[in-house]
Amino acid sequence: MTDRIKLLPEHVANQIAAGEVVQRPASVVKELLENAVDAGASRVQLIVKDGGKALVQVVDDGCGMSPADALLSFRRHATSKISEASDLFRLHTKGFRGEALASIAAIAQVEMQTREDGAELATRIRIAGDTVQSREEAVAPVGTSISVKNLFFNIPARRNFLKSDKVEYRHVLEEFQRVALAHPGVAFSMVHNDSEVHQLPEANLRQRIVHLFGSRMNTRLVPVREETQLAEIDGFICKPEFAKKSRGEQYFFVNDRFIRSAYLHHAILTAFEGLLKPDTYPGYFLYLQVPAGAIDINIHPTKTEVKFEDEQSLYAILRSAVKHSLGQFSISPVLDFERDPNLETPYAYQQRDAAVPKVSVDRTFNPFAEEHALRDSQPAARHAQPAAPREKRPGWEVLYDGGNPEAVSEETREGWTVASGGSEGALFRANAAEIPEQAGVFQVGRKYLLSHIKSGLLLIDQRRAHQRVIYERFLRSTTQREPATQALLFPLKPSLNPSEIHILEGLKEALEAMGFGFGRTGEDFVEITGLPVGVPESEAESILDGIVSDWQRHEDGVHFSQSDRIAKALAQSLAVRHGTALEQEEQLGLVNDLFGCKEPGTSPFGKPTYVTLSMEELEKKLS
């Protein structure tokens, strides 16, 4: 009987492990940056080309490695972070399983150059597909430089699953931001396609956030600080008025490690309850320090999901800390029954110094001089005749005495002026014969439009119908390449982070085809010089925020073009809401525009825009 179970070859086992550790270029960036931090580096540089597909290089000035350690670091489960199983429960480093370099070397072309302090020469190792190609001495500064080229070069199927360079670059940028936020005391820099993206000096936490997300972020941050026996919480939350439709600026760090936690995120939302607009999410940068034995970070291959020993208590502490900060900095209302509002200093005078009042006295003032002058200048006024009384019009008493207005004489009526207010009972007409013929559409519950057709009744969802109209209008302007643009007298400058700016730059051509106009682009803003006709200026920033957030949520969608997705996002933002009262002309115009569309039966999102009720169905319901 033959044996069927066999040990996998080393290179096959490494490729399987690589599938867990390395999913895209951003995974490589995360592992290499964390290794650089664990090596005690004070400066770390990231160099990326083609979104990380062609090159990911990390250069640090850490402790470096000896020649033996450099070669051993590419072996599976070879690590300096732990030595026994109990170490897994008191981890203080990022990487600890020894799988990162082995997995990366199995699916890419890797070159490592490292030198430890005190060594005269560095060690250079080249590995491709888990095979060591060369090992030699070289001249290099203290530290380590690792270059990863042509990711998944030996697994074409995996490489085909990678997204476009822009999408992969944005994932790389997110991983860079997470590591940089977790370690503000380390200087980071990033270069993409020979263009510098970030140059972050050593700074405190607030400065690091501002350097990454723009100077306007400085005025939006509210500090959070709480220290208990269970956990120590530090960081910042964003003010409620700056909440966004996307969840981009939400960062949790536990023991200087980025994590995702829906449970803790719910604690933040609960603390913000009643302060946020619908469909918006608050931003936060929160750092939790808990004992190493109270957390398990080895439950997920990417180590972004963790398990806490006492999640419920941590939930309550976090919610209380955020609520306290919102109240302490007057973001949310606070009830203080002992506070006397009459003794509070007005806001406009809080920064002013107390001023001594000045009293001026006019010692030559005579209060009787003016009276004597007036009496002498008008001597005839004392002898003037009293003014004649106003003419009294007869007949006005009848309006207040309950008398009959018909009894008033014709002469009296000529002096009356009657305001015209329409015919009596005009507000209570209910006869169908009095309704104009063109008013064939009625609004029901401020949500539906009801109209009659030959076969029965037509019930239209006003929001979905408007979405279809807007969607086809923007697609038509894109196809015809003749967008209608309204120029802005004063350009708008919405504040954006680098990731959002990168998304807008990729969508700029499609947005310009729909009527948007763009000016210069800064580090944390994009100048908007024109808007499509029909887009209100007050809604411009919210609409662009919706487009960016929609792109972030569905970035991997390849079944639709940019124009189609932008048109859908615009339709979602601009369409009339349920609960909006429409005038008669607006109702008729919406119905006519809907049935002028190519596909009036469905909204851009595949939902029906109207239903019909035939006479037979009505008769059955009334029988």
CATH number at residue 147: 3.30.565.10
Report d(CA 526, CA 480) in Å as an integer.
Answer: 26
Cα–Cα distances in angstroms (integers) from residue 348 to residues 326, 327, 457, in the given order: 22, 21, 60
Report d(CA 165, CA 193) in Å as an integer.
Answer: 11
Residue 411 lies in a domain: no
* 335 phi and psi angles, rounded to 5 deg: -90, 120
Q: Are strands 284-289 and 250-254 parallel, antiparallel or unpaired?
A: parallel
Q: DSSP state, 581?
A: -
Q: Clarify whether residues 178 and 87 are in a common domain.
A: yes
Number of domains composing the chain: 3
- How remote is the C-alpha of 301 from its chain's centroid? 28
Mean pLDDT value of segment 372-390? 54
Report d(CA 201, CA 208) in Å as an integer.
Answer: 8
pLDDT per residue as tens digits for the range 52-61: 999 999 999 9
What pLDDT does residue 190 have? 94
Model pTM? 0.68
Residue 437 lies in a domain: no
Residue 259 lies in a domain: yes
Mean pLDDT value of segment 207-212? 91
Q: Clarify whether residues 88 and 121 are in a common domain.
A: yes
pLDDT above 50 (res 421): no
Query: At a CB cut-off of 8 Å and minimum separation 6, what does 149 contact?
Result: 54, 55, 108, 109, 110, 111
- Per-residue three-class SS string for 4-24: CCCCCCHHHHHHHHHHHHCCC
- Choose between 481 and 206: higher pLDDT: 206
User: What is the DSSP secondary-structure string of 321-333?
Assistant: HHHHHHHHTTSS-
User: What is the DSSP secondary-structure string of 349-387?
Assistant: GTTSPP--------TT--TTHHHHHHHHH-GGGGGPPPP
Pick the closest to residue 144 from 121, 124, 114 (CA basis). 114
Residues 178, 179, 180, 181, Cα dihedral to 10°: 50
Q: Clarify whether residues 274 and 194 are in a common domain.
A: no
Q: Which of 202-206, 343-347, 530-534, 547-551 has the highest mean pLDDT?
A: 202-206
**595-602 contact pairs (CB < 8 A, 24+):** 597/468, 597/469, 597/472, 598/472, 599/468, 599/472, 600/465, 600/468, 602/468
Pick the closest to residue 542 from 285, 331, 280, 282 (CA basis). 280
Report d(CA 159, CA 150) in Å as an integer.
Answer: 9
Task: Please report which confidence band the pLDDT of residue 389 belongs to, taking 50, 70 and 90 as the band edges.
Answer: low
Q: Clarify whether residues 228 and 259 are in a common domain.
A: yes
CB-based contact 104:150 (threshold 8 Å): no
pLDDT above 90 (res 44): yes
pLDDT per residue as tens digits for the range 452-505: 888 888 899 999 999 999 999 888 888 777 777 888 888 888 877 777 787 888
Q: How many Cα atoms occupy the beta-carbon half-sphere of 162 within 13 Å?
A: 27
Pick the closest to residue 524 from 494, 491, 490 (CA basis). 494
pLDDT per residue as tens digits for the range 65-94: 988 888 888 887 766 665 555 555 555 566
Instruction: Pick the last residue of a domain from 298, 328, 358.
Output: 328
Q: Clarify whether residues 31 and 97 are in a common domain.
A: yes
What does the block give as tokens for 35?
């290794």
CATH number at residue 318: 3.30.230.10
- How does 289-316 read in b/e, with b if 16+ C-beta sit within 10 Å? ebeeebbebeeebebeebebeeeeebbe
* Positive or negative: CA dihedral 33, 176, 179, 316: negative
Task: Identify the domain containing residue 324 by its residue range.
Answer: 205-328
Q: DSSP state, 242?
A: G
Query: Which of helix, strand or coil describes residue 447?
Result: coil
What pLDDT does residue 82 have? 57
Residue 109 lies in a domain: yes
Q: Clarify whether residues 114 and 258 are in a common domain.
A: no
Q: Clarify whether residues 173 and 242 are in a common domain.
A: no
Residue 598 lies in a domain: yes
Residue 391 lies in a domain: no
Instruction: Pick the last residue of a domain from 270, 305, 328.
Output: 328
Q: Clarify whether residues 160 and 77 are in a common domain.
A: yes
What does the block give as tokens for 246?
């996307």
User: What is the DSSP secondary-structure string of 449-478?
Assistant: EEEEETTEEEEEEHHHHHHHHHHHHHHHHH
Q: DSSP state, 392?
A: P
- How remote is the C-alpha of 94 from its chain's centroid? 29
What pLDDT does residue 584 have? 87
Return mean pLDDT, the chain.
79
Residue 333 lies in a domain: no
**Other Cβ atoms closer than 10 A to 605:** 12
CB-based contact 116:67 (threshold 8 Å): no
- Choose between 103 and 559: higher pLDDT: 103
What pLDDT does residue 392 have? 53
* Positive or negative: CA dihedral 398, 402, 405, 406: negative
Instruction: Pick the last residue of a domain from 149, 178, 200.
Output: 200
What pLDDT does residue 429 have? 38
- Choose between 409 and 586: higher pLDDT: 586
pLDDT above 80 (res 287): yes
Q: DSSP state, 576?
A: P
Q: Clarify whether residues 192 and 237 are in a common domain.
A: no
CATH number at residue 482: 3.30.1370.100
Place of tokens 């972020």: 217
Q: Give percent of the chain above pLDDT 90.
A: 26
The region of weakest confidence among 7-11, 215-219, 484-488, 575-579 is 7-11
Q: Are strands 232-238 and 610-614 parallel, antiparallel or unpaired?
A: unpaired
Q: Clarify whether residues 119 and 237 are in a common domain.
A: no
- How remote is the C-alpha of 329 from its chain's centroid? 23
pLDDT above 60 (res 439): no
Q: Clarify whether residues 292 and 278 are in a common domain.
A: yes
Q: How many Cα atoms occupy the beta-carbon half-sphere of 74 within 13 Å?
A: 26
Report d(CA 282, CA 238) in Å as an integer.
Answer: 6
Q: Clarify whether residues 115 and 260 are in a common domain.
A: no
pLDDT per residue as tens digits for the range 109-145: 999 999 998 888 999 999 988 788 999 999 999 999 9
Residue 512 lies in a domain: yes
